[in-house]
Chains A and B, each alone.
Chain A
């Protein structure tokens, strides 16, 4: 102590200050061990990037985002026409842009109006449909036909379309996806199959008969223009190999969804009025049916079907979501707090994703809501979700911008 006092007595103030400064510097060095230092905070915004879709939109809607390798493909109706763009999935840069060979009101917005097969992208709505090269955006072929109506689907290398006069007949066609070559498969007339209902064939799924024949299983969503002005859900199986009807089942239900059925092994799943059906494609018999509920929205105006492992996901028009054992029809879980009006359910790593007033993610194993209506803007979050296969990023839009989002930071 005496030494310190003596020291202080012998140094002037300036020196004292310098000593203090050195001491403070020396003290501050070990005071922050690497482990204690504040970690640099990484960017925790869910928005990885966003890109304005159009500066002159003609519609608030856009097509379902489609992922092809490292490209996100999206169509939008603009004042100049319907424009399809491919964006780099990592940075959002526009890779190519193509004006669709369409006119009038064409606006592919539903999930069954744009799809990818191999390196081809198909857009199809109402009278128009065309295929383009996913890598270059070059239009490969396009068609227009006044009798075609509704969405489409791709099975193997064929695009399927339905033609109708909306009263008396409905035909199923298919087009070879590389060339656009047309093939008419079959027609159902109003007078056939014992009823006077106007036929309306929906998109099929393909099943292979034990004898090796290729069978298309689909719905005929008839309408009673000449009877009771009500809907009737017929289902049928068309033998593609034998070019004949394998079976036709009248009135499985009344009102039904326009959704394409789902197929898993030897079972085909349909959505009717307040019921999901499991059908034997061999003879059209019901294996089981799942009652959803008797509420006004326990049906499927806008539904689609998802099979995840052993589960059939049932999403009626209300806020509910059910997971049903696809073999037995028994309920596995139910979540009554998911939003309604989903456009398309998608699945990625055991999570069900959809857009409805925000991005929703539901754990497919438990039914627990993981992300509840996340919105990155005040826009319209009603579009389906595409998933990057490796980095976990998701792609969707708010109608104005295309977003790449990191679900890790979506709370």
Chain B
């Protein structure tokens, strides 16, 4: 009798626990469904709506009045070779341009070099001073003429990213501070070709304080996916894991990005005193600006070149693959989703075990494991949310994001319909699926593993979707900033599907350099082939 009473009480508690548990679940679900729409002014990053091409590019170009060049050309009798200097970008090194420089030297009549400013990113004054010194040393080591007898008017610089700003700073100083010996006693180059330089300023400098948070999110969601199943075992362990995130954000990541957070990066912020000075200077340089435009998701493509293989480590002109991190992010996202699904099944099973358990112990066990899986799922869902929003987040960091700019556009999708049956006596069931591409439809139909299928058709349809506009970019610098080289006019060219790092060593780099040396953009840069 006593045992029966205990059993009854246990069952009672069990039912109550299940009730409470169900209430909590209901509450969670209610809260989840009661959330405001994700596209809203108050949301931090809203939602990833950047599928496909939808660019807004308001050209923002500084146009100070240009004077015609006052430079005297080299006399026709001067048959000496020209010097072409390749200058790297932020946190780069002479190796950054090694492929292009070697290729130029091997194929064209020029002496070229890779002047560097490694260790001098304390200010653009220091960068300019060091570049000036390095070019001078480089030229004098490569040419036999004395400084006074050599004609420098044909010499030009090819610079990537910050290297272009440093070169422009030097040009500005040569023109405006003629007696400042920090920059030598004469001009050393007369033309400047930039790849991905932020002439209109680097917006990424404005969001410097938020870089660590983004990288922590990447590390946590992608690299530490294996730790998610440790979540929910105990509050102590959860706290430890939370502390790990804080440690990554506050200790590890700042060390990782220290090399990027230089003073020169700050000085490249839009409308900084340095940018204002060089953008209001009437430069007499011969100019060409190449700009990269990268497809979404730009953030993963840029990170691919930062973490997988650097652009210069590919064979010459072969830095076109940038899918490593795109694939990685997608596979990790799929792992998170699979784990969430599996946890949901476990939750269901534990709940059943709790309800039908024989004693309080099994009820508590069930409650514990349900809770553990819920906690794990919560963190995994956060990770998925981060991954879904990562590109928009990244666009916000580089200034490409317009949080309030949305537009309804029609997107094409493909509707696959067919009939299938599951046995000879079974009836035909009509099936419909939607896909983004025609080929996906075909692949799906071909891959169907059913008893019989028939009557398939694919129809292109459109649906209105809400798209967020953004400034096109190369994953780091906005296109409008890359093009904003004052006085460059039409001497610009686009490098399709090139991220900021690929710009130095992609097939398009070879193509535009070939055209540059043929004089297509400006006869000044004509450089003859080696025989």
Contact = CB atoms under 8 A, between A and B. Distances in A.
Contact of B490 (A296, A382, A409): A296
Contacts of A61: 317, 507, 510-511, 514
A378 B520 contact: no
A146 B531 CA distance: 9
B531 A104 contact: yes
B514 A200 contact: no
Contact of A301 (B69, B107, B108, B490): B490
A37 B59 contact: no
A356 B496 contact: yes
Given A104-B531, A229-B69, A298 B493 contact: no
Contacts of A380: 320, 506-508
Interface string B268-310: 0000000000000000001000000000000000000000000
B172 interface: no
Contacts of A149: 528
A159 to B, nearest CB: 18
A226 B68 CA distance: 13
A228 B72 CA distance: 9
B515 A302 contact: yes
A38 B421 CA distance: 12
B403 to A, nearest CB: 25
Contacts of B522: 231
Contacts of B529: 104-106, 125-127
A339 B316 CA distance: 25
A167 B76 contact: yes
A109 B492 CA distance: 20
A162 to B, nearest CB: 12
B321 A28 contact: no
Contact of A166 (B488, B506, B526): B526
Given A301-B521, A356-B496, A38 B454 contact: yes
Nearest to A343: B511
Interface stretch (B198-206, B219-227, B436-444): B436-444
Contacts of A201: none
B442 A44 contact: yes
Interface string B496-531: 110000000011101100110011111110101111
Interface in B429-481: 437-439, 442, 445-446, 452-456
B292 to A, nearest CB: 11
Interface in A262-321: 273-274, 295-299, 301-302, 317-318
B445 A229 contact: no
Interface residues of B, number: 61
A144 B439 CA distance: 50
Given A60-B317, A105-B529, A229-B69, A37 B515 contact: no
Contacts of A382: 496, 507-508, 511
B73 interface: yes
A127 B529 CA distance: 8
A225 interface: yes
A301 B455 contact: no
A354 B198 CA distance: 30
Interface in A380-402: 380, 382, 399
Given A38-B453, A357-B497, A127 B488 contact: no
Contacts of B317: 59-61
B456 A378 contact: no
A229 B452 CA distance: 74
Given A41-B446, A127-B531, A357-B496, A295 B59 contact: yes
Contacts of A225: 73
A378 B442 contact: no
A357 B522 CA distance: 24
A200 B491 CA distance: 19
Interface in A25-44: 27-28, 31-32, 36-38, 41, 44
In the A-B complex, list the 10 residue pairs whose CB atoms are closest, starting with the nearest: A357-B496, A105-B107, A60-B317, A380-B507, A60-B507, A223-B523, A299-B490, A229-B69, A105-B529, A411-B438
14 contacts: A37-B454, A41-B446, A59-B510, A104-B529, A107-B514, A126-B528, A229-B71, A231-B523, A301-B521, A317-B494, A356-B496, A380-B320, A380-B506, A380-B508
Given A109-B514, A339-B496, 10 more contacts: A38-B456, A105-B529, A109-B511, A166-B528, A168-B76, A274-B490, A296-B61, A301-B493, A302-B493, A378-B321
Interface of A: 24, 27-28, 31-32, 36-38, 41, 44-45, 59-61, 103-107, 109-110, 125-127, 144, 146, 149-150, 165-168, 198, 200, 221, 223, 225-226, 228-231, 255, 257-258, 273-274, 295-299, 301-302, 317-318, 337, 339-341, 356-357, 378-380, 382, 399, 409, 411
